[in-house]
């Protein structure tokens, strides 16, 4: 497959959640590419191998631009955006921009156990008061710059998988935690959307998203009997779901 042909094919753009990086997709990417599907994973500024760029200036728009920059650099003409966890905020903002700037480029939005904002909401909008306060408190040692990752056991991981994720997680930029996202909700809702619900164990902070997608029309909801990091715990099953979505979107 030539570079030009690859750019024309519908490609996955995988966006990791909080504390993670593109590294978390390394078990999934080869499975997608083995099916002759272009797939790219972006590392958001200040995280993963880009942790050295952590600064007070990083906000939601920085991370949205990270996604847009990958799409532009790879000259992708048709994309399926996949956002994990916090990155539900990021792919929503990127989708709004794509639909405005490059109509026809976005074929599907996948929220992988992810935050699902309405216009004007922040990542923190539907967290409990206890969770909000805990994250504010956790940011204080860094002067409000970032907050540290939790033990990966909370994602349902154990053994070597838990150790691997714990070693690689990095502090999450804090400024974006309470930053509202403004976007055209009606425009984004026109895109085919799938929510992948990771149910065993179910992460409590994702509960509002689970409720929303089951109470609104035009959502495809799929379930995985695994924890919050299925790209680590069940990469083959996740890749199969994504390839099915891709086939319907191509």
**Long-range contact list for 69-75, CB < 8 A, 24+ apart?**
70/13, 70/40, 70/42, 71/13, 71/98, 71/105, 74/7, 74/11, 74/40, 75/7
Once rounded to an integer, what is the mean pLDDT over residues 71-94? 97
Is the pLDDT at 165 greater than 90? The verdict is yes
Q: Give the chain's mean pLDDT.
A: 95
pLDDT of residue 7: 58
Rounded CA-CA distance 22/39 in Å is 12
Do residues 80 and 14 make contact, with C-beta atoms less than 8 angstroms apart? no
Is the pLDDT at 26 greater than 70? The verdict is yes
Tokens for 167, please give them: 């070693």
Confidence of residue 146 (pLDDT cuts 50, 70, 90): very high
Rounded CA-CA distance 159/109 in Å is 32
Is the pLDDT at 152 greater than 70? The verdict is yes
Place of tokens 């191509």: 250
Residue 13's H or E segment, with its range, is strand 10-15
Domains present along the chain, CATH in parentheses: 3-249 (3.40.50.1820)
Assign 172 to helix, strand or coil.
Answer: strand
Q: What are the phi and psi torsion angles at 219 (to 5°)?
A: -105, 135
Rounded CA-CA distance 200/120 in Å is 31
Once rounded to an integer, what is the mean pLDDT over residues 16-23? 98
**Taking the CA atoms of the chain, what radius of gyration do you get in angstroms?**
17
Do residues 111 and 88 make contact, with C-beta atoms less than 8 angstroms apart? yes
Rounded CA-CA distance 55/45 in Å is 9
pLDDT tens figures, 83-124: 999 999 999 999 999 999 998 999 999 999 999 999 999 999
Do residues 123 and 115 make contact, with C-beta atoms less than 8 angstroms apart? yes
Rounded CA-CA distance 230/155 in Å is 9
What whole-number percentage of the chain has pLDDT above 70?
Answer: 97
CA atoms within 13 A on the CB side of 51: 17
What whole-number percentage of the chain has pLDDT above 90?
Answer: 93
DSSP string, 16-53: --TT--GGGGTTTHHHHHHTT--EEEEPPTTSGGGGGG
pLDDT of residue 84: 98
pLDDT tens figures, 213-234: 999 999 999 999 999 999 999 9
Catalytic residues: 85
Q: What are the phi and psi torsion angles at 40 (to 5°)?
A: -130, 145
pLDDT tens figures, 43-63: 999 999 999 999 999 999 999
Is the pLDDT at 81 greater than 90? The verdict is yes
Handedness of CA 155, 13, 68, 113 (dihedral sign): negative
């Amino acid at each position: 497959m030539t570079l030009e042909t690859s750019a024309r094919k519908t490609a996955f753009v995988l966006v990791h959640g909080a504390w993670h990086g593109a590294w978390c997709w390394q078990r999934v990417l080869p499975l997608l590419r083995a099916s002759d599907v272009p797939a790219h994973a972006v590392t958001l500024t200040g995280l993963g191998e880009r942790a050295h760029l952590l600064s007070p200036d990083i906000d939601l728009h920085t991370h949205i631009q990270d996604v847009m920059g990958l799409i532009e650099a790879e000259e992708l003409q048709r994309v399926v955006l996949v956002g994990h966890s916090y990155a539900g905020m990021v792919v929503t903002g990127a989708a709004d921009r794509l639909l405005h700037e490059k109509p026809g480029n976005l074929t599907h939005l996948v929220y992988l156990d992810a935050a699902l904002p309405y216009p004007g909401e922040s990542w923190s909008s539907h967290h409990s008061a206890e969770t909000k306060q805990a994250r504010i408190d956790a940011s204080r040692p860094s002067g409000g710059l970032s907050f540290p990752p939790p033990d990966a056991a909370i994602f349902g991981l154990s053994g070597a998988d838990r150790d691997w994720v714990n070693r690689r997680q990095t502090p999450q930029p804090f400024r974006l935690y309470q930053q509202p996202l403004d976007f055209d909700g009606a425009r984004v809702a026109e895109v085919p959307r799938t929510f992948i619900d990771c149910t065993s164990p179910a992460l409590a902070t994702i509960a509002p998203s689970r409720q929303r997608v089951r109470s609104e029309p035009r959502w495809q909801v799929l379930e995985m009997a695994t924890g919050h990091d299925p790209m680590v715990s069940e990469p083959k099953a996740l890749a199969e779901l994504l390839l099915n979505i891709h086939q319907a979107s191509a």
